[in-house]
Amino acid sequence: MLTFERWKITLVLVIAVLGSVYAMPNFLARSTADSLPSWLPHEQINLGLDLQGGSHLLLEVDIGTVVAEQLEALVDEVRVALRGAGIGYTGLGRSGERVKLQLRDTTQIDVVRPLLVEINPSNDIEVSADGFVSIGISESARQERQIAVLSQSIEIVRRRIDETGTREPTIQRQGEDRILVQLPGVDDPERVKRLLGKTAKMNFRMVDEATPIDDALRGRVPPGSELLYERDRRANQEEPLPIVIRKRVSVSGDNLVDAQPTFQDNLPVVSLRFDTAGARKFGALTKENVGKRFAIVLDGEVISAPVIREPIPGGNGIISGRFTVQSAQDLALLLRAGALPAPLTILEERTVGPSLGADSIAAGKIASVVGLVFVVAYIIMSYGLFGVAAVLALAVNMSLIVGLLSVLQATLTLPGIAGIVLTIGMAVDANVLIFERIREEVRNGRSAFSSVDIGFRQAFRTIIDANVTTLIAAILLFQFGSGPVRGFAVTLAIGIATSMFTAIMFTRMLIVLWLQRVRPQVLPI
């Protein structure tokens, strides 16, 4: 006997209603959906770059800078180790991608090698009989550092993008040293490029007031100092102001825990808050140098060089660097997100206008509607009343797809729309298999109830086989694809699951309830 239990009816109806409820916010304006009560579904499908416009950036991480920093750090470590052991040397420095030096006393060769191995056993160390030493970073250490730098860069880029309020950005690794960034709906790509282009390495250093600026401009800068420049951002001055800064970092930006834009004397400033170690260093710096100037240096440029009026304990400070409101907000954002471990270079930039995205959506709607109309007309003409049940199942299927995409906060792209259009055909295909099997049983002389029962049971295996193979393809596309390919895979996988549910459960429920109510002798199929 063909039956459909009450609990199954309840389950199918609840799922269908939930799909419709979660799909409804997509038919409202975003502002209206966001204003709905928190207990009501209000999530909408996020549109990808190709549908709502935005920016596409391909960034390259400057790994060479990281290697150079590693070698400079190695130079310092070698210097400390050799001086601590009382070993004389000359010419210590970086040459290409190696650190080189010449020992004064060749009898100390046997002592030098263990010292250098202690620094890092994985380093490539060469010591010749004449006392020439060459040290290089091993390939494994270089690769580990490269992977770490790329991962850290992706995380910092993500933090900076999230701070701008961009919804559903795509940020992912490409190759060994590149980062793909897609920002749907971004209306100020230039600001994003400025934010991503800064490494945001900030530190506090004392001003070298003993060295005249004129001497520094002529190249006479003391070994412990360097010549930097300060620019007045509000005045937009063309010529930056030269200033001599001590190389020794008094307080590092790594000690920052928060940075916020605010106002002081009606001027935009950035307030800082240090961690415990940073607060202690900053307090000592201001206490020991009252009346002197210290510089706040960001990416090799002096933001501000104020005079220390009084000690600043407590770990809180203010940067009053002649900012605009926007530049103060951007600086606070950069400092909160953290410093990039290496500079980023924009290799490729594309901007998709919102009008092009609107055209894509319109074309997708037309394709979906046209496909839907042809499918509905064909299924009803071919299978009559059973075709009407399949159309109702198709409507439920569409609401489930839209509802699931909203709940998952998936990003819908143009290939994703193609996946939905494909799903329309696949959903009907399952019903066609069932209906054709029912027709075959009717031709064999079986009763209406028996034909429907056997039709659903026999077609079930074929439907499972066909959909599972397609689902495997969708999983592989998602695993190995990127960007729009993944969007297509997501909508295809969701469509497979919902079409199987509607064909096997919803359509069967409608037909079984009709059979039990009407009890026809001949099936209208």
Residue 463 vs residues 41, 350, 430, 438, 525: alpha-carbon distances, Å: 32, 43, 6, 14, 20
Per-residue DSSP letter, 173: E
* Per-residue 3-state assignment (H helix, E strand, C coil) for 288-346: HCCCCEEEEEECCEEEECCECCCCCCCCEEEECCCCCHHHHHHHHHHHHHCCCCCCEEE
Dump pLDDT digits (tens) for 403-424: 998 888 777 777 887 788 787 7
pLDDT at 224 over 70: yes
Could you tell me what percent of the chain has a pLDDT over 70? 93
Dump pLDDT digits (tens) for 444-474: 888 888 888 888 888 888 888 888 888 898 8
> What is the chain's mean pLDDT, rounded?
81
Distance CA 235, CA 258 (A): 28
Domain residue extents for the chain: 6-52+355-518, 63-138, 200-339
pLDDT at 1 over 60: no
Contact 320, 303 (CB under 8 A): no
Ranges 247-251, 330-334, 402-406: which has the least confidence: 330-334
pLDDT band at residue 485 under the 50/70/90 scheme: confident
pLDDT at 4 over 80: no
Distance CA 508, CA 66 (A): 63
| Per-range mean pLDDT, top range of 32-36, 170-174, 204-208, 237-241 | 204-208
Position 14 scores a pLDDT of 92
pLDDT band at residue 353 under the 50/70/90 scheme: low
Dump pLDDT digits (tens) for 278-323: 888 888 888 888 888 888 887 778 877 878 878 878 778 777 666 7
CATH topology for 63-138 is: 3.30.1240
Distance CA 206, CA 486 (A): 52
pLDDT band at residue 231 under the 50/70/90 scheme: low
Superfamily of domain 6-52+355-518 in CATH is Multidrug efflux transporter AcrB transmembrane domain (1.20.1640.10)
For residue 334, how far is the Cα from the chain centroid?
16
Dump pLDDT digits (tens) for 133-145: 898 888 888 888 8
Q: Mean per-residue pLDDT for 148-160?
A: 82
Dump pLDDT digits (tens) for 69-107: 778 778 878 888 888 888 888 888 888 888 898 988 888
Q: What is the pTM for the complete model shown?
A: 0.59
Distance CA 429, CA 397 (A): 13
Order of all β-strands in the sheet with 132-136: 89-95, 98-103, 132-136, 124-127
Closest to 271 measured CA to CA, from 304, 307, 314, 316: 316
Dump pLDDT digits (tens) for 14-60: 999 998 888 888 887 777 777 777 777 878 887 776 677 778 888 88
Domain 200-339: top CATH class: alpha beta
pLDDT band at residue 359 under the 50/70/90 scheme: confident
Q: Check if 6-52+355-518 and 200-339 are the same fold.
A: no
pLDDT at 482 over 70: no
3-state helix, strand, coil in the chain (%, to 5): 55, 20, 25
